[in-house]
Amino acid sequence: MALSQSKSRAGITLIEVMSAIVIIAIAVLGASAYRYYSTLDGRKAVLQSTAARVALLLNENWRGRGYDHITDFDPVSNLSLDMAIAPSGIGPDYATGFTALGQYEITVNDSRFWAALSYRTDSADLRTLNTVIAWAERPNDAGGVISMPRTFRLTTFVTQ
């Protein structure tokens, strides 16, 4: 009697094990990357919506002072109870063709923003108010700012 040359072998090969490891690694890395980028995008969205709210708060408070008090608006004295705001020598550029009112550094929920307020008298009974808010998506290690690539602009009008 001849022994059977083909014996069934139970078990898995090294190639099957390595293939399973690669598939699992890809799935884990994909899930980790998804979680990382969704968290990062969530932070960017919070910063952008906060910047929009700050711009709206500045513009509405400024507009609410009336046509005759546009040039003497001081957000530091008017809004310091709502947020930490201070005059600043840095910030976004003023809108072209507008008269500069001032630049301010604003801190809200441990996030720093910079504002540039400017206005333009269009006619005897119409003034245009412009607010530009800038922020950095990533602060550097020294607590400063790498750059302020993100801005939000809001313009409104005041009549006499």
pLDDT digits (tens, 9 = 90+) for 11-67: 788 999 999 999 999 999 999 999 999 998 898 899 999 999 999 999 999 988 887
In a domain? residue 40: yes
Q: Which residue has the higher pLDDT, 25 or 92?
A: 25
In a domain? residue 3: no
Cβ neighbourhood burial of 137 (10 Å; 0-12, 13-18, 19+): middle
> What's the predicted TM-score (pTM) here?
0.74
In a domain? residue 7: no
In a domain? residue 122: yes
User: What residues contact 120, with CB distance under 8 A and at least 6 apart?
Assistant: 95, 97, 98, 99, 127, 128, 130
pLDDT, tens only, 98-153: 999 999 999 988 888 999 999 998 888 899 999 999 988 765 544 554 466 788 99
- Domain with 117 in it: 14-159
Number of domains in the chain: 1
In a domain? residue 56: yes
In a domain? residue 4: no
Cross-strand partners of 150: 135
